[in-house]
Structure 1
């Protein structure tokens, strides 16, 4: 249902313009205290002066101040404004007004045609005002004082001269957009009596939001008020008219409504700008158009472009500020609509000449290339040679500053003028690939068609391959890269120089990267890897080759030592430089080979580089890779943090669009933390069809879905997904058993479903790949699968060996899982004591990892074995026994072991035992660590009173 405006008239909430109201209130308080005061309220047309005065009058009336008010017109009849003021003494206007006869002498003297001399009129007026101030203060309020007749202004000045110790306040409101009809009289009054000035600037964003809330019956979209404020420039009149128009149209205050509001603001702004400029001298209009063309330029540049003297330009700029076109204290227009309206006063040929003159002026003045290029961008037709050179320089500067969109804009204009320039097209495509890969691909394809030099074509093909990866077009990239690489090798021959060898290595590395991404091209990557000798790794391209060779070796799953050697050589960069995307590719084989620290160090280098260079897509990729590695090691809280950050980038940053892996990583962690429903919701939002060819993402997606299904109790559905993952990996030729250990999860599911024969077949099939890869994790998982499918003492021995093996690996979560399965098997064999020991350890290990689902399952079996343990929640202290919690609490407060022993009536040795156990379970190393875990949310290091009382008793 559309949001509807309230039926009542749109008015500003009384909470707006707090600072201006406070300033005027301070002057009113001074007047009420007996000091005659004058205040000038100024602001451009539409700034809300009338509404501001209405609120002020209401406030002063509530304070028992007599308020006389009038709005001046262009009537220059002497004393016309004062007569209007006295008219408000009529009881019809104010039930508490003084008796009307007191105003008779003044009214008679002020009457048109009375013929009374000026001194008699002023004396009568003073007597009336003195009479009105007998009982309470008096406020005389004149709106549109710029139209006030001179005689009335001189009468007010006369009153102020005789009210230095009287409670009189004179408030004059004057629009800054037009010159006063009686400039001299108004200036004398305000200067002679040191009138304070309260300037009504644009409404703040908060004021605009308050107006929107007041106008609409239902909450507006969060983006509506900020966009409306920017479009209207904070002008109250425009804001009110926009809201009324939206109401008449039935437009809702949402994102679409904000767009419509911008259109209305533009339509309302143009007539006002034309009226302001129409009443100004020609040189003022020239300054206005020069300022609109130059934007935030220096005043001397505006003067030079307008062709007027600097002093005259300064006067014109001040008038434009007073009129509300320019922001005071700056040389930029209040809104883009205002600037566009000023430029619209020029005919297109005249505007083109002015922009050309502006570009030359800025270039001659030595301004930065981007300032000059911003003018050139808007010029139609062909470009002069110096303009083309300026656009190239501006693009280089913008790209160096990380402003890729701006750089692409300069190159796009250059390409319009020079469509046959392959280098410009290729560079434009490279820049666009960073924020819109889909738009970059056609440019690269055109550049490949245009390129006649084989080396140029190779450079473009490499960029094409990297861009295709972002939009899941690996096969297309593989085809182009294969053909280009063949042509390059034929052209160069065996005697290629160092630069050509580096170009060839770069093209080969990109080919390996693109071909490895999808199932249909993975065989192509393997063939190229088999025929490519491993390079030394002396150059960036060679390191990229080594990283991809390490990845392919790891996917093959048979030579862990070779994969580690290749990956480490890929990371040997001079000076610690990140070395392109090589560290990101090298991290995977290192992690699969249990070299976790090296993998994380490699990712940290790329992460720092991505932060410094403003590469959100690379940043998200690295965070996702780190989240997956941390998940493998059992550091689920840290993995959760990285996955959430990466997922947030995917949702907010256009350059991260089409990235699915961060969402899959987050769902994987959530499922292991016992939040299967949230994991399933995340995965349901992905386009599963687009992932089905991906060697990395599709199996990961299937595994995450299986974990979520299992957590929701759908074991059959989970099993189907795990088997599909195994079929995909086998069909792709991926033989590494620890990349996606679907087989272990399938074995555990089948064992729990009493389908032991099927479980045993899968477990047996996994033994050879695990021995071939040979890492502690691979061997431990393989032993775990065999133990889970082997009955009796032999099975227990296999499970015990698996626990020992995994304890020596970085896979802490797998160690916890193995310990849980051993405890479960012991419980089934009737060894309740042994079961309790291992199940309690499993809970502790799983809780340290943050694997809450596993911790809860182990606790359930611990209770079945006769053990005792509180419920598993999100707190790390769940794994502590009651005594351990007491001991840890006192230790965290700084109590010594002896003090704790005396407080709890136990031996020091017992305290040491419980404290050691608490350290191990909470994964901390000292008393400060205990305090941080036990009371993380208490401010200022506060501790619960029972703990303080216990410590006090101990001492």
Structure 2
């Protein structure tokens, strides 16, 4: 290692050596923290001493050899260039001295444990040698020297004042040696001086990095490495090696150096080297910090005094390992932690948990220790874990909350309390993976039958069983809830009242099992959160039973804007989003759903994130955005695997099938429909989505009979369940389309008439889809009017895909009427909409016509030339409307429309409406 920032220390040693060479002996005490380069400095100085005519004689003390009497002095004797007679005499003295020291039992700090004559004779050997050669006697890590050697070295140091000898003792700043006589005896001598080595400065680290890795790397990373090492040369050098991938390794392999300041294995190993070269208590404290991550109660955990802890922390900080009581980098903690055995870790956490509880620490702190400690038999353990779990779930730390509850469930011996914990665990695990709590459901069902489970928990259990398609078990639980006398329990009554509309909308076959609520169970017993759950569940049921109601939808939108994904509100959010979606307001629900998805992701609740993605996919289908529908549906199935979805898998699968079918990716759809699903799914609302999507696919591939069967089954189920509203699934429109393919026009007309009677202004999407089919059953001359109305309704309903289908049919109607000028314009517009949807552009005839007719989109700059009134006229004219139709639509006179068109042609530099672009873009938004 280059001696960066060691010039001053080296100069001090050189000055002492110069005096020693003239017969004025010196003693140097070289001090510094662990791994600050003391040994490197001694090696460099020894080389210089040789050049100046001095003879280095060196020894290194070791903690492992501290019990070896005269071990360090023996190293010096063996290193010294003695003549044979001197060597034989010295070795004999060493053996005699070892026997004396061992027989004394090392019980004294006086020369009595080493015979004074032996100490004198051994030191005389070195003193006589200095008369022939000036000596530089070096003892590295002298604080680890055995006591007999320290006694002899002190004896020698007191006699070098007028000898050609320089003695250098290096030691760590953090010294535990009880042999204080050694230090006090030497430091009071006038010829003894202390040379202090400090860590490298910030500039010193920059210099080191520049020499090892170059100027560019120093500029980029030296500051970071100084922060991670605090100037400790060993740590700084290890960081550079981590970056370079080993000395010259990248250059040998012809690879560039890494772009980021890698902190890896070499740095961790260097930290361990520092700790192992220090005092044992430093390593113990570092290990305790690595396990616990905090300094609280270190003195009580390790049985050390507060003063000892403070000194050790200061030493570890000065040595570059810690900063403000924490490891300077996680790699250091990881390396230290790897050396701690499992039993030691558990024991530390066990004792830390007990101390934290006794000190009244936060429950999360205690619980974190308990999770790592393993079983602890103490009455406070279970309550602490329960409280910590509630806090963790409320704060969105779902996985941690599950860990606490699992441990509480294992530790609890009271059966009723254990069942309560199991119910909490089911709810918590549900957020991560609904399949996980399945193992608890059988035990909870049995407990319910024995009357050991609360009514509110029973409702949670029933819903979990329904999710997994275990309808028989769910029915048993529901029947038990209605017959076991839970009417006096407010919580149970509240949960049952919320469950009724939820079952009505989701598992309608089970809604009747709960019966009607009692007249005396009003909302007085319902909390604010429960009130929101009840209101949104009721709104969803009303939308699916009676169709959208403006007041209810306004209320659920307000609730959504106030709701957060805390422990109980996922039901609130889900029901409210679905009520808006089925109520024809997907455009309002979509951005809110996106916000909740972000929150679910930040709270690490993948189950909730997946369920929200499935809802978002349904919204995208209803908006005609097939690309987004596929993305959201696939995300839902990736975040949570199909096996975890239970019967609810029909929702994301249905959206995915519809989207892929619209895109013309029939092979992908075939693979999806080949996947097995639970039969129980078809007894829920989710099965309806699956059946309807399968019918759409069958229609697209020409299997109209299969499609008709699926649509009719949808109708049968929705009729039986009382959910036969167009906003849920427009199955009659699908069935009518299938009938038209099969040539059953009369049957199709009846289905269309029935559907039209159920639609109104609050269902523009479904109304527009049905009017498109009505046009197909009407005379050719009536079709353009109906199809334009259909396209307008679908534009209002926000479904661009269905709007494009109506426009394709409109183009074909105009083709049949011989109005070819309009065909091309409308076909371009339809194709543009299809492209926006990411759907397959329909029909070879449409493609052929599009190839003949092209029209550029109107740019934002050109659009700015038109007034608002002119723009509205231009849009309708581009869509193929006659002047009279435009006048009727905009409540203008025909003359006014003609005047608008004249100005439009002039401003856009065109000659007729045939030159109008089919898609007009104003301010970045397409209008067509």
Distance in 2 (alpha carbons) for counterparts of 1:669 and 1:187? 87
Match for residue 191 of structure 1?
197
Which of 761, 767, 791 is the equivalent residue of 1:803? 791
Offset of residue 576 of structure 1:
3.7
Question: Number of matched residues?
Answer: 729
Cα contact 1:571–1:583 (8 A) shared by 2: no
Which of 743, 750, 767 is the equivalent residue of 1:757? 743
Distance in 1 (alpha carbons) for counterparts of 2:471 and 2:543? 20
Moved more, 547-556 or 772-781: 547-556
Match for residue 710 of structure 2?
725
* Aligned CA distance change for structure 1 residues 193 and 343 (closer, same or farther; 3 Å): closer
Distance in 1 (alpha carbons) for counterparts of 2:653 and 2:240? 39
Stretches of structure 1 that go unaligned for 5 or more consecutive residues are 1-20, 31-35, 51-70, 84-111, 124-142, 151-171, 219-224, 239-268, 870-879, 898-906, 934-955
Moved more, 398-407 or 371-380: 371-380
Secondary structure at 1:395's aligned position in 2? helix
Match for residue 136 of structure 1?
none
Secondary structure at 2:798's aligned position in 1? coil
Distance in 1 (alpha carbons) for counterparts of 2:520 and 2:586? 23
Task: List per-residue Cα deviations over 1:262-290 (Å, max 9, x = no partner).
Answer: xxxxxxx9xx99x959x956x66765675
Distance in 1 (alpha carbons) for counterparts of 2:501 and 2:554? 18
**What root-mean-square deviation, in Å, do the aligned CA atoms of Structure 1 and Structure 2 show?**
6.7
* Aligned CA distance change for structure 1 residues 889 and 234 (closer, same or farther; 3 Å): farther
* Aligned CA distance change for structure 1 residues 79 and 147 (closer, same or farther; 3 Å): farther
Secondary structure at 2:233's aligned position in 1? strand
Match for residue 631 of structure 1?
621
Which of 491, 497, 510 is the equivalent residue of 1:524? 510
Cα contact 2:691–2:714 (8 A) shared by 1: no
Secondary structure at 1:830's aligned position in 2? coil
Offset of residue 484 of structure 1:
0.9
Which of 575, 578, 591 is the equivalent residue of 1:585? 575
Secondary structure at 2:294's aligned position in 1? coil
Offset of residue 608 of structure 1:
7.7
Which of 314, 323, 330 is the equivalent residue of 2:326? 330
Offset of residue 662 of structure 1:
7.6
Cα contact 1:763–1:782 (8 A) shared by 2: no
Secondary structure at 2:840's aligned position in 1? helix
Task: List per-residue Cα deviations over 1:354-387 (Å, max 9, x = no partner).
Answer: 7665344333444322223344456676633344
Match for residue 682 of structure 2?
693
Match for residue 127 of structure 1?
none
Which of 368, 374, 397 is the equivalent residue of 1:403? 397
Structure showing greater radius of gyration is 2
Offset of residue 523 of structure 1:
2.8
TM-score, with structure 2 as normaliser: 0.60
Cα contact 1:373–1:391 (8 A) shared by 2: yes
Match for residue 862 of structure 1?
849
Distance in 2 (alpha carbons) for counterparts of 1:284 and 1:236? 16
Which of 586, 589, 611 is the equivalent residue of 1:621? 611
Distance in 2 (alpha carbons) for counterparts of 1:803 and 1:669? 20
* Aligned CA distance change for structure 1 residues 361 and 118 (closer, same or farther; 3 Å): farther
1:64-103, aligned counterparts within 5 Å? none
* Aligned CA distance change for structure 1 residues 767 and 924 (closer, same or farther; 3 Å): same
Match for residue 769 of structure 1?
755
Stretches of structure 2 that go unaligned for 5 or more consecutive residues are 9-13, 15-29, 41-57, 62-71, 82-124, 151-169, 205-231, 254-259, 872-901
* Aligned CA distance change for structure 1 residues 548 and 26 (closer, same or farther; 3 Å): same
Distance in 2 (alpha carbons) for counterparts of 1:444 and 1:810? 42
Match for residue 813 of structure 2?
825
Secondary structure at 1:437's aligned position in 2? coil
Match for residue 941 of structure 1?
none
Q: Does 1:368 align with 2:370?
A: no
Q: Does 1:434 align with 2:431?
A: yes
Match for residue 656 of structure 2?
667
Match for residue 385 of structure 1?
379
* Aligned CA distance change for structure 1 residues 530 and 843 (closer, same or farther; 3 Å): farther
Offset of residue 812 of structure 1:
3.4
Cα contact 1:303–1:313 (8 A) shared by 2: yes
* Aligned CA distance change for structure 1 residues 684 and 393 (closer, same or farther; 3 Å): same
Cα contact 2:366–2:384 (8 A) shared by 1: yes
Offset of residue 587 of structure 1:
3.8
Q: Does 1:509 align with 2:513?
A: no
Secondary structure at 2:388's aligned position in 1? helix
Which of 747, 771, 778 is the equivalent residue of 2:766? 778
Distance in 2 (alpha carbons) for counterparts of 1:210 and 1:654? 44
Cα contact 1:485–1:504 (8 A) shared by 2: no
Offset of residue 823 of structure 1:
0.5
Distance in 1 (alpha carbons) for counterparts of 2:483 and 2:244? 63
Match for residue 6 of structure 1?
none
Q: Does 1:302 align with 2:298?
A: yes
Secondary structure at 1:199's aligned position in 2? helix
Match for residue 418 of structure 1?
413
Offset of residue 821 of structure 1:
0.8
Match for residue 823 of structure 2?
835
Distance in 1 (alpha carbons) for counterparts of 2:193 and 2:921? 75
Cα contact 2:705–2:742 (8 A) shared by 1: no
Distance in 1 (alpha carbons) for counterparts of 2:80 and 2:710? 90
Moved more, 684-693 or 356-365: 684-693
Match for residue 68 of structure 1?
none
Offset of residue 29 of structure 1:
14
Offset of residue 451 of structure 1:
6.0
Cα contact 1:208–1:229 (8 A) shared by 2: yes
Match for residue 478 of structure 2?
481
1:417-566, aligned counterparts within 5 Å? 417-420=412-415, 421=417, 422-443=419-440, 445-447=442-444, 449-450=446-447, 457-468=454-465, 470-473=467-470, 476-488=473-485, 491-492=486-487, 500=490, 503-510=492-499, 512-514=501-503, 516-517=505-506, 522-525=508-511, 541=530, 544-545=533-534, 547-548=536-537, 550-552=539-541, 554-555=543-544, 559-560=546-547
Offset of residue 208 of structure 1:
8.6
Offset of residue 460 of structure 1:
0.8
Secondary structure at 1:853's aligned position in 2? coil
